[in-house]
A and B are shown apart, each in its own frame.
Chain A
Amino acid sequence: MATCIHCSLPLPAASEVIFNEDGRAFCCTGCRSVFAVIHGAGLEDFYALRGSEQGAVPKRSGRAFEEFDDEEFHRLYVRIGADGFLTVELYVEGVHCNACIWLVEKLPGLAPGVREARLDFGRSVCAVTWDPTRIGLSQIARHLDLLGYSPHPARGGKSRELRRGEERKEIMRLGVAAALAMNAMLIAFALYGGILSGMEDNMRDTFRTYSFGMAALAVFWPGRTFLRGAVASLRTRTAHMDLPIAMGLLAGLLGGAYNTFVGRGEVYFESVAFLIFLLLFGRFLQNRQQRAARDSLELLHSLTPSRARRLDAEGEFREVPASALLPGDRIELRALDSVPADGRIVEGESALDRKLLSGESRPVRAIVGDEVLAGTVNLQSRLVVEIETVGEATRLGQLLSLVESAAGRAAPLVRVADRMAGLFTLLLVFLSVGTLWYWWAIDPAAAVENSVALLIVACPCALGLATPLAIVVAVGRAARLGILVQGGEVLERLAKPGLVYLDKTGTLTRGEMSVVEWMGDDRDRGWIHGLEAISSHPLACAIEAWAGETRGAQLSSVKEYIGLGVEGELRTSMGFEVVRIGSLAFMDANQVEISPALSDRIAKLLARGLSPVVASKGSTAVSVFGLGDALQKDAKAMIDELRLGGWRVGILSGDHPEVVASVARELGLESELVFGGVSPEGKLQAVESAMKFGPVVMVGDGVNDAAALAAATTGVAVEGGAEASLAAADVYLSEGGLRQVARLLDGSRRTLLTIKRGILISLLYNGVAAWLAMTGRIDPILAAVLMPVSSLTVVSLAYRARTFRAL
């Protein structure tokens, strides 16, 4: 099959293929122009390097990136180097293969003045260093955009920097622990030889002393974190895995030190050092996974536009970063722009989408003098807005502070492993005292020896590894399914069934208007399509999509009345006839007659929560449309799936109560769990009161859900949602719809099962080893063998477990 030269996707039908001057075939003009840029710059090797891999379909924005040159932008994102060069981190879309790295890093050749471009492939972040006297940042951004990698300022630079520092520290600790463990093990091999075939005392004591040095260093340098955790656990009287671990480490170190000093008995220094390394390794993997998840979530925020077109002193609209706006500024909002601050319309007329802010699925008409709120989207036509409040004082800002306070109140989770830890510690103390008491009567030296051995071999190494590994593997698999989990404990929390509150828009429904019901003459479809084609109002678009094609209707003098409807003249066999499509108010204003049958239908539509639209010919109505936010295709099946898993399902929506009620009826949900017309504060309240009775999962996408997401036991944000809800949620689903929610819950249940299985197995090992120690049959070699074997079992179990899967 023929494919596009640039993106390697199959070519469209012959009539739509696009050729360049050399006769090469492309699937779209975007691909052709990217090819021209790459070719023109002498970078054709890109295609050879890429091999057969598919290229990205270019998402060129074609923007001017003016705001990249703004002072405010520079203050936020640009670092000044010692040599006078500037550095910025850009999040670039569309990076997907090795050749992309090559192409992006060739930027200095394309844009003179750029010193260096380094791409971090895993994060899609490109660090660009440039000479400000030779080139502007907006020019650099345009070059990247030309190549098909649309750039955005990488948000969250500070917290990413903090996490990077944390990671470096952990790597260093891990390296030290590894070096000490390996060297302690080497010396231990000499000592094992001594046990088997005899060794001079002074030689043995030298080896033991060195070995003690390694272990002591390991315990007090990289192993410090366990000691600290144990102390904190004692102080707050809450069980923590660190407590039994610290006990084992200290017993091994001190007991061994005593035996080295008096020159008899056994030492377990290599076990201590190795224990620290293995445990740190497990924790490192888990933390790393978590940091990667946070990074990618924060970078996702970069995609939300944070710029505005502000009227400057010369009377022109220029792009500036949204944070540079001040009250009194005038900004221009084009169709599909999101509103950056609260203000009032001074020019123009349009429809606003308040879905993210309030959950309303129907667009709202806005005219001069109306208030517009930050976080809403201008749907239809150009508006000029005078800013009244910015930042935290806006309605959006208030909701965000609500989120923060709700997040602060969220109860911490007691993890399964930590719950086990308390029991484990008690048992360990009890057993070692028992061993001491029992052996004391027989041989006091052996009594101390055996109880120290017990503490060492019973140290929960596999137990400490079981949970982090099971979670790391599960989180990785989830990410491949498009489920980003912020931290493993979330999976443990989701494993037990409770109550799920769904936000209606975007989760249960598609989040966009479509024709649900229609009554009229099929022959009218042609002119209906033709008339609606000129409007960009969401209801008009839905009807246009429904009508199919224009089919030969001849229309003239078509005119749109913003927020009301469209009007035109249709040519018929008897001359021209006025045709209109629009709201009831529009029909009233034009004295259109609506027959009793149609008005009856309209009343029924209204009762079902649908938006009625009327089409008229001459002065009589001929068609009625009922528009609504249609249910997702698999909504019903997935809700049944959730219920099968023991979950109760409810709706918390800001949309009109009758709309919500009709959705609930269709899905067969219990009416006492369905709430419509709920304010953001109301959602928060509903979630908090439900949490008194058990875990609550909140699924939502809007700013209006954000506080509830933060307060709920687990908050799940859905794709396409507002930035605030992303920040507040524990889980992000990169695909809308309930299927992902069901996958998440199913995967979490399986992950907890895996964790429990790992814990059981490690306890089994510990039990056997403890029994050997208590009966005085264990020695350092056996202990050193048992520990890695038990860890290995747990590790392979965690990797083989089938947790997240496609449903």
Chain B
Amino acid sequence: MNIVFIVLPFALLIAGGVLAAFLWAARSGQFDDMETPGRRMLLDDVPIKKEDKELE
């Protein structure tokens, strides 16, 4: 079970890295607008028109 003494700090280190990434994201404003991006991603692609379908 001595492996725990190595794994535990290592796991915490990874957690710390993730936390740092989160803090960076929050600080740079990634969470400022929680609504629009979710809607925007639905729209970026132009919908397939009838003619295009017929060509396929």
For B8, list chain A residues within 8 Å (CB).
187, 206-207, 210
Check B4–A183 contact: CB distance below 8 A.
no
Check B36–A119 contact: CB distance below 8 A.
yes
Number of A-B contacts (CB under 8 A): 68
For B35, list chain A residues within 8 Å (CB).
120-122
Chain B, range 1-56, C-beta contacts under 8 Å to A: 1, 4-5, 8, 12, 15, 18-19, 22-23, 26-27, 29, 31-36, 39-40, 42-43, 46-47, 49
For B40, list chain A residues within 8 Å (CB).
98, 101-102, 105
Check A179–B19 contact: CB distance below 8 A.
yes
Check A101–B5 contact: CB distance below 8 A.
no
Check B27–A168 contact: CB distance below 8 A.
yes
Nearest-CB residue, chain A, relative to B37: A121
Interface string of A140-177 (1 = CB under 8 A from B): 00000000000000000000000010011001100110
Complex: how many Å from CA A168 to CA B24?
Answer: 10
Check A171–B47 contact: CB distance below 8 A.
no
A49 within 8 A of B: yes
Nearest-CB residue, chain B, relative to A45: B46
Check B47–A168 contact: CB distance below 8 A.
no
Nearest-CB residue, chain A, relative to B18: A179
Check B22–A48 contact: CB distance below 8 A.
no
Q: Number of A residues whose C-beta is below 8 Å from B? A: 28
Complex: how many Å from CA A167 to CA B8?
Answer: 33
Nearest-CB residue, chain B, relative to A179: B19
**Closest CB of chain A to B22's CB: distance in Å?**
5
Check A121–B22 contact: CB distance below 8 A.
no
A427 within 8 A of B: no
Check B29–A168 contact: CB distance below 8 A.
yes
For A80, list chain B residues within 8 Å (CB).
none
The answer to whether A171 and B15 touch (CB under 8 A), given A98-B42, A119-B36, A121-B39, is: no
For B34, list chain A residues within 8 Å (CB).
122
Nearest-CB residue, chain A, relative to B27: A168
Check B46–A171 contact: CB distance below 8 A.
no
**Closest CB of chain B to A365's CB: distance in Å?**
50
**Closest CB of chain B to A166's CB: distance in Å?**
12
Contact of A172 among B18, B26, B42 (CB under 8 A): B26
Check A120–B47 contact: CB distance below 8 A.
no
The answer to whether A102 and B43 touch (CB under 8 A), given A121-B35, A167-B32, A168-B27, is: yes
For A172, list chain B residues within 8 Å (CB).
22-23, 26-27
Chain A, range 775-794, C-beta contacts under 8 Å to B: none
Check B1–A203 contact: CB distance below 8 A.
yes
A558 within 8 A of B: no
Check A122–B36 contact: CB distance below 8 A.
yes
Nearest-CB residue, chain A, relative to B43: A102
**Closest CB of chain A to B26's CB: distance in Å?**
5
Contact of B32 among A45, A48, A168, A187 (CB under 8 A): A168
Check B22–A175 contact: CB distance below 8 A.
yes
Nearest-CB residue, chain A, relative to B42: A98
Check A101–B43 contact: CB distance below 8 A.
yes
Complex: how many Å from CA A48 to CA B50?
Answer: 11
The answer to whether A164 and B32 touch (CB under 8 A), given A45-B46, A98-B42, A172-B27, is: yes
For B32, list chain A residues within 8 Å (CB).
164, 167-168
Complex: how many Å from CA A784 to CA B14?
Answer: 25
Nearest-CB residue, chain A, relative to B22: A175
Nearest-CB residue, chain B, relative to A98: B39
**Closest CB of chain A to B40's CB: distance in Å?**
6
Check A168–B19 contact: CB distance below 8 A.
no
Complex: how many Å from CA A244 to CA B31?
Answer: 32
For A742, list chain B residues within 8 Å (CB).
none
For A187, list chain B residues within 8 Å (CB).
8
Nearest-CB residue, chain B, relative to A175: B22
Check A179–B15 contact: CB distance below 8 A.
yes
For B43, list chain A residues within 8 Å (CB).
49, 98-99, 101-102
Nearest-CB residue, chain A, relative to B4: A203
**Closest CB of chain A to B27's CB: distance in Å?**
6
For B46, list chain A residues within 8 Å (CB).
45
**Closest CB of chain B to A206's CB: distance in Å?**
7
A-B contact pairs, 25 of them (CB 8 A): A48-B47, A49-B43, A98-B39, A98-B42, A98-B43, A101-B40, A102-B40, A105-B40, A119-B36, A120-B33, A120-B35, A121-B33, A122-B35, A122-B36, A164-B29, A167-B32, A176-B19, A176-B23, A179-B18, A183-B12, A200-B1, A203-B4, A206-B5, A207-B8, A210-B8
**Besides A121-B39, A176-B23, A203-B1, 9 new A-B residue pairs in contact (Cβ under 8 A), listed by A number:** A99-B43, A118-B36, A120-B33, A121-B36, A122-B35, A122-B36, A164-B32, A203-B4, A207-B8
What 3 pairs between A and B have smallest CB-CB spacing?
A: A121-B36, A122-B35, A102-B43
B residues near A, CB below 8 A?
1, 4-5, 8, 12, 15, 18-19, 22-23, 26-27, 29, 31-36, 39-40, 42-43, 46-47, 49
A residues near B, CB below 8 A?
45, 48-49, 98-99, 101-102, 105, 118-122, 164, 167-168, 171-172, 175-176, 179, 183, 187, 200, 203, 206-207, 210
